[in-house]
Amino acid sequence: MIEIDGSFGEGGGQILRTSLTLSALTKKPFKIYKIRANRPNPGLQRQHLTALEAVKILTNAKVKGDKLGSTEVIFEPQNIIEEGEFMFDVGTAGSVTLILQTILPLLLNRKVKVTIRGGTDVPKSPSIDYIRLTFLPLLEKIGIKVSLDLIKRGHYPEGGGEIRVSQVVGNPSRFSLLQTGKLIKIKGISHVSSLPSHIAERQAKSAKEYLQSKLNVPIDIDLDIREKEISKGSGITLTAIYENTYLGSDSLGEKGKRAETVGEEAAKLLFEEIKSNATVDKHMGDMLMLYASLFSGEYIGSILTMHAKTNAEIIKKFLNVEIEIKGEKPFFFKARKEL
């Protein structure tokens, strides 16, 4: 059984999520202890517990320690379920996108439909529009196509968001993302939920004005106005679309933060990613690591975060891969399955 110190490196929930994904795929059981030990609220919170429960159900796993606040879990997966419909509810504004990240590789070429309820646009996690505009198009580049529907938006603290994954298909193989190619255009989504529509308009206008002052490419930002959601909130997500790749950024509104500030913040973040000459942004540099390790891939990430460094170490515990990381800003990542 693989043993994992949950306080290692970045010390957050990503250690558990990566372990769950790879344990399910490899059928290797693991024990994780000191889960989030250095956090203000250590142990499993609702979002982590929901990810654990989701993989438990999808793999008919035997689990010990699956309760709120638990700092130790033993996970023994069986076979991944081939078909069925499932619903997982965080019960709070906990991120649905982090749960989606955990289970997505398990759904590949299986007749499984999944609904996840919780927060779609919450701090310290990818927004649902980042997933739709940047992550999923990039997965399609490496051979994985995902059908994802945003049913309801959910903001912190109320939550109430809902997404549905109905199909994950493909035949991914070795990939190389070392050249961005030409920058074609900028695409974005500016949204509000149960707030005045002018907030989304101002976010979009501010982002567009900033990017137009820096770039000479078409900029297309759609508005998503939702008047009757459970939660109130706003945000904007931007994606730079290149010939070979996608770079993304996002920014969320909050009380006392002007809409113009939100829009410009996302635009500045995206411009920094563009200037980095990397082929994936700092969040994707972490998220793509698992897929590169599963299918032998290479790419250039804009910033080597502690999240990414920790993820690499967890991956090596489950997969027989040779991992090469060079540099930090930007950094080169390559994974190759060992024979």
What is the model's pLDDT at position 328? Answer: 95
Indicate the residue type of 322.
E
* Cα separations in angstroms, 278 against 173, 202, 283: 22, 29, 12
- 339 has pLDDT over 60: no
Full domain range(s) for residue 297: 277-339
Asked which of 228, 259, 275 is the last residue of a domain, the reply is 275
Q: Residues 251, 286: contact at Cβ < 8 Å?
A: no
Structure tokens at 320: 């027989």
Question: Sorting pLDDT into bands at 50, 70 and 90, what band is 77?
Answer: very high
Tell me the pLDDT tens digit for each residue of 92-146: 899 999 999 999 999 999 999 999 999 999 999 999 999 999 999 999 999 999 9
Residues 1 and 57 in one domain: yes
Q: Residues 248, 270: contact at Cβ < 8 Å?
A: yes
Residues 187 and 261 in one domain: yes
Residue 44 lies in a domain: yes
The strand pair at 219-226 and 175-177 is best described as unpaired
Residue 230 lies in a domain: yes
Q: SS3 of 266, please? A: helix
Structure tokens at 215: 């770039």
In the chain, the number of structural domains is 3
The dihedral formed by the CA atoms of 134, 136, 138 and 143, expressed in degrees to the nearest 10 = -170
Tell me the pLDDT tens digit for each residue of 7-62: 999 888 999 999 999 999 999 999 999 999 988 889 999 999 999 999 999 999 99
Residues 248 and 331 in one domain: no
In DSSP terms, 83 is beta-bridged to 111
* Cα separations in angstroms, 40 against 32, 155, 258, 295: 19, 22, 29, 36
Structure tokens at 50: 């929901």
Structure tokens at 258: 């002007």
Tell me the pLDDT tens digit for each residue of 275-321: 999 999 999 999 999 999 999 999 999 999 999 999 999 999 999 99
The 10 Å Cβ neighbour count of residue 244 is 13
The 10 Å Cβ neighbour count of residue 109 is 12
Residues 194 and 266 in one domain: yes
Q: Is 101 annotated as a binding residue?
A: yes
- 201 has pLDDT over 70: yes
pTM for the predicted model, two decimal places: 0.96
Residues 283 and 208 in one domain: no
Q: SS3 of 294, please? A: helix
* Average pLDDT for the chain: 96
Residues 313 and 253 in one domain: no
State the distance between the two ends of the chain, measured CA to CA, in whole angstroms. 22
- For tokens 């912190």, name the residue: 156
Residues 192 and 238 in one domain: yes
CATH code of the domain containing 10 = 3.30.110
Catalytic residues: 307
